Amino acid sequence: MASRPERQPGIAHPRLPLPEGPEDLLAFQRWLEEAIPMVAALGIQAMSEEEGALIWQLALAPSLNDKGTGFGGALTAQATLQGWCWVTLFLRQQGLQRDVVVADASQRFIAPVTDNYRMICTPEEPAGAQRLVDKLQTRGKGSITLKQQLFCGDTLCFEATGRYVVLANT
């Protein structure tokens, strides 16, 4: 079996071509695992989109801590990445290939994560996506604040917010 070439610091990974219709989230996830090597270890089992939300199903096993519950650092990494993915996928739906970075983020740990879970990412404000589109059209760059919520069954265990910046084309 052929091995993938190792990623090198300072060398950007090739962008995934824009879709010619609905996004193939499985293809996006495979590309993501190549572009950001640690993604393969995060336990993402499935991605879906529903009414402006990006929803992930995740396995707990790769993110266990010494107590047998979800490790806060792993949950934080997942939330940060999910926000980046939300913005990247949103831009792709608009026909745009742009660089996205997280500017700031915060987390709140509410209950232990004790089983496989789902994480849901949405704009913090209902008009956030349209405001981002408007900023991109008028200024060439913009930002959006997203929230991530992690549920074990019906129990909310973790919340995060992050402000993601879409950089101007250079």
- Burial category of 30 from C-beta neighbours within 10 Å (exposed 0-12, middle 13-18, buried 19 and up): middle
Residue type, 39: V
- Domain of 62, CATH number, reads 3.10.129.10
Residue 152, token pair as written in the block: 């074990």
Task: Report yes or no on 59 lying in a domain.
Answer: yes
Task: Report yes or no on 36 lying in a domain.
Answer: no
Task: State residue 64's pLDDT score.
Answer: 96
Task: Report yes or no on 16 lying in a domain.
Answer: no
Task: Report yes or no on 156 lying in a domain.
Answer: yes
List the domain range (segments joined by +) for residue 156.
Answer: 45-166
* CA angle, residues 84, 85, 86, in degrees to nearest 5: 90
Give this prediction's pTM: 0.94
Task: State residue 3's pLDDT score.
Answer: 53
Residue type, 92: R
Alpha helices in 64-119 (DSSP H): 72-93
Tens digit of pLDDT at every position of the chain (170 positions): 445 567 788 888 889 989 888 999 999 999 999 999 999 999 999 999 999 999 999 999 999 999 999 999 999 999 999 999 999 999 999 999 999 999 999 999 999 999 999 999 999 999 999 999 999 999 999 999 999 999 999 999 999 999 999 999 86
